[in-house]
């Protein structure tokens, strides 16, 4: 036994306060419901690499749950005028996004030949159907009505998506924050149909430009804008890594969910969530 391991054992023996009796106490495993989480990987094939495929997607869904938790609270905080609280939440979203992006690096260790060993077992199931990803898109302002049909078989999920589809996005409430700060924002934007994708407005452009030209005066709004840019930047990097990973594994095949696969993923890269915040980089 090496000296370092021996020293560690000796140290543990001196830790007299370590709890060992959990007959009537909650354990770490109990708190996290590990019995449920760790028994939720059910391979439909006998192939070794299907475990990787399942876990990567499950982990990503857990991270998306946290993103939604933070985005929802951030939207509420901005609406209430509490921008400082929103900043912490949005900063956390950006950090979580980096974790999801890195997940593609792990999945890309799956080769085309390996994936073909179990792809047919997926049937029509596809990441395209992730309702949490759709909720994130809705929270950021990208609303797609036709996509709602996918979820009609699950009433609770469908209802949640309809609610998010009709609710203001984080950019809608940020535009509202500009109006509350005294900027002359087009009044039509402040009571609009939030299910319609926002495409830009000259009064919003002018307001953000003024914020960036007088950072000291409008520091909170400036910080809000940069937090939004961070999130869109990371989301687009996630989308790009998604597209390249799919291309690496299945090329230009049709996705299991029926989408055009790589071609669809390339198209969505063109969408901008917060157009004025990118345009002002050129116009300033």
Q: What CATH number is attached to the domain comprising 243?
A: 1.20.58.480
For the record, the structure tokens of 161 come out as 């998506």
- Sequence-distant (6+) residues with CB within 8 A of 14 are none
Q: Which residue range(s) make up the domain with 197?
A: 48-120+130-282
Judge whether 53 is annotated as a binding position: yes
On whether 218 is known to bind a ligand per the annotation, the reply is no
Q: Looking at the 3D structure of the chain, how many domains does it have?
A: 1
Residue 25 within a domain? no
256 is in an annotated binding site: yes
pLDDT in the model for residue 1: 47
Any known ligand binding at 185? no
Does residue 269 register a pLDDT over 50? yes
Question: For the residues 119-139, what does the mean pLDDT come to?
Answer: 94
Which residues, 6 or more positions from 223, have their beta carbon under 8 angstroms from its beta carbon? 83, 87
Mean pLDDT of 194-203: 96
Q: Is 242 annotated as a binding residue?
A: yes
Q: Residue range 154-165: average pLDDT?
A: 97
The set of residues, in sequence order, having a beta carbon less than 8 Å from that of 91 and lying 6+ positions away, is: 227, 230
Q: Answer yes or no: is 209 within a domain.
A: yes
More confident residue, 25 or 217: 217
Q: Is 249 annotated as a binding residue?
A: no
133: left (phi over 0), alpha (psi -120 to 50) or beta: alpha
- Does the structure show a pLDDT above 60 at 40? yes
CB burial readout 14-47, b (16+ within 10 A) else e: eeeeeeeeeeeeeeeeeeeeeeeeeeeeeeeeeb
How many Cβ atoms sit within 10 Å of the Cβ of residue 98? Answer: 12
DSSP letter, residue 82: -
């Amino acid at each position: 036994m090496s000296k370092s391991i021996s020293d560690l054992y000796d140290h543990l023996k001196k830790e007299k306060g370590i709890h060992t009796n959990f007959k009537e106490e909650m354990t770490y495993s109990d708190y996290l419901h590990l019995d449920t989480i760790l028994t939720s990987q059910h391979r439909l094939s006998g192939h070794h690499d299907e475990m990787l495929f399942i876990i990567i997607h499950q982990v990503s869904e857990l991270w998306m749950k946290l993103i939604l938790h933070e985005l929802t609270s951030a939207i509420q905080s901005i609406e209430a005028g509490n921008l400082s609280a929103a900043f912490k939440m949005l900063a956390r979203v950006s950090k979580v996004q980096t974790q999801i992006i890195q997940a593609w690096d792990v999945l890309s260790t799956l080769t085309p030949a390996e994936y073909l060993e179990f792809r047919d077992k997926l049937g029509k199931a596809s990441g395209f159907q992730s309702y949490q990803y759709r909720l994130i898109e809705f929270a950021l302002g990208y609303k797609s009505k036709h996509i709602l049909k996918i979820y009609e078989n699950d009433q609770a999920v469908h209802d949640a998506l309809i609610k998010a589809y009709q609710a203001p996005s984080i950019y809608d409430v940020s535009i509202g924050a500009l109006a509350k700060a005294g900027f002359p924002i087009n009044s039509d934007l402040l009571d609009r149909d939030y299910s319609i994708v926002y495409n830009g407005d000259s009064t919003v452009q002018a307001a953000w430009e003024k914020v960036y030209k007088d950072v000291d005066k409008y520091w909170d709004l400036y910080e809000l804008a940069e937090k939004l840019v961070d999130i869109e930047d990371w989301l687009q990097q996630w989308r790009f890594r998604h597209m390249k990973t799919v291309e690496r594994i299945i090329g230009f095949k049709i996705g299991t969910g029926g989408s055009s696969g790589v071609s669809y993923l390339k198209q969505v890269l063109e969408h901008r969530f917060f157009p004025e915040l990118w345009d002002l980089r050129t116009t300033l």
